[in-house]
Amino acid sequence: MNLIDLYVHEVTRLLPEKNREDIALELQSTIQDMLPDNPTEDEIKAALSKLGDPAKLAGQYRDIPRYLIGPALYDHYLTILKMTFPIVLAVVLITQVLTNIINYAGEATIIEMILALSFSIVGAAFNVGVQTLFWITLVFFVLERSGAVKESFPQSTIGAPWKPEDLKYLSSIPKKKAISKSQVLFSLIWTAVWAGVYFNAVNIIAVYERDSTSGFNYVTPIFNEETLLSFWPFVCLLIAIEIALAIFKWVLGQWTPRLAVINAFYNAVYILVFIFLASSSNLFNPSFVDYQVQLFNSTADDVMNVVNGAVWTSIVIAIIISVLDSYEGFKKARISLTKLFNK
């Protein structure tokens, strides 16, 4: 087998079998066109050198890119990671400190408490950090492969060297449609905060009694831990959608019909999960109800009537906020919707 055949074989073996024969013929023809009649071995080597590494050439023939996060999104990917990790780590630090302080019974020494706190912070930070990296990478991978952000990148500028002529494809973002970086940052902070509070609700959202000697003492959690944890798949789905939505907003930088639809979908999922969780009969800790009965010298039914009234009020408020947020998204994208319907 001569050098040309070896080179063609090395390129095509890295490609899907269904494409090998056609690409082999094409590559053979390309190499022959680069060579004179009766080429010498040095001329063949020079031609093959121009074509370059067979592995890189095979990558150019592939329909699917070989990189995980492509160049069009890679800077956004790094920026989101740099923004998200400090937020997540800060929430982990705060929740772990609060949890350890609340659970401190005074039996361990200060040094033992500090060591236990340090280990819990490191362990929680590692677990949450790995999950954060995984989910953000997954979101960008899906955006890259699905082409969901093509509407924000002119086709002529993707995968090709930039040239001044590409500027004619760009247009400024109207102020009413623009999404500021501060909005995305606030969204990420909010997600990290409510997720951290939710999974530590038993230790944070509770009844405390003031003591003249030791300050505030932890009495009883308000919510039932088993009920909260039973909803974890749905809560994790909300977190994933919210992070994906924030990343999508960051990449696009403006409201579009697709983004408005995704935003409305998130709000719908959020309302459904919130209603199912809030209306659960076992949401509140029985000891919290008993505490309220003794505190107000009332009955359990009276306490639950007040609690249920507050729950349904919060559900109505959440629905109103979600509807307004969805409406605002479609309103800001209305220019693109008009163009879409006129096509």
Q: What is the largest CA-CA distance in the chain?
A: 105
Q: What SS3 state is found at 218?
A: strand
- CB-based burial of residue 271 (10 Å sphere; 0-12 exposed, 13-18 middle, 19+ buried)? middle
Domain ranges of the chain: 3-61, 71-342
Q: What does the pLDDT read at residue 337?
A: 46
Instruction: Give pLDDT, residue 327.
Output: 92
Nearest 5°: CA angle at 112, between 111 and 113? 90
Tens of each residue's pLDDT in the chain, 343 residues: 578 888 888 888 878 778 788 888 988 898 888 888 888 888 888 888 888 888 778 877 776 656 677 766 777 888 888 888 888 888 888 888 877 766 665 666 777 777 877 888 888 888 888 888 888 888 888 877 776 665 444 443 444 454 544 534 445 567 778 888 888 888 888 888 888 889 888 888 888 887 766 556 788 889 998 999 899 899 988 988 888 898 888 888 888 888 899 899 999 999 999 999 998 888 999 999 999 999 888 898 999 999 999 999 999 999 999 999 999 999 888 744 445 445 4
222: CB partners within 8 A, 6+ apart: 201, 205, 206, 207, 284, 285, 288
Tokens of 149: 């952000």
Output the pLDDT for position 108.
65
Q: Which residues contact 282 (CB under 8 A, 6 or more apart)?
A: 224, 226, 227
User: Residue type at 142?
Assistant: V
| Neighbour count for residue 317 (Cβ, 10 Å) | 10
* pLDDT (0 to 100) of residue 159: 44
CA nearest to 84, candidates 201, 238, 250? 250
Provide the whole-model pTM: 0.64
Distance CA 95, CA 99 (A): 6
Q: Beta-carbon neighbour count of residue 202 at 10 Å?
A: 19
pLDDT at 156: 38
Token duo for residue 175: 């102020």
DSSP character at residue 220: E
What whole-number distance in Å separates Cα of residue 24 and Cα of residue 20?
A: 6
Report whether 245 contacts 262 (CB < 8 A): yes
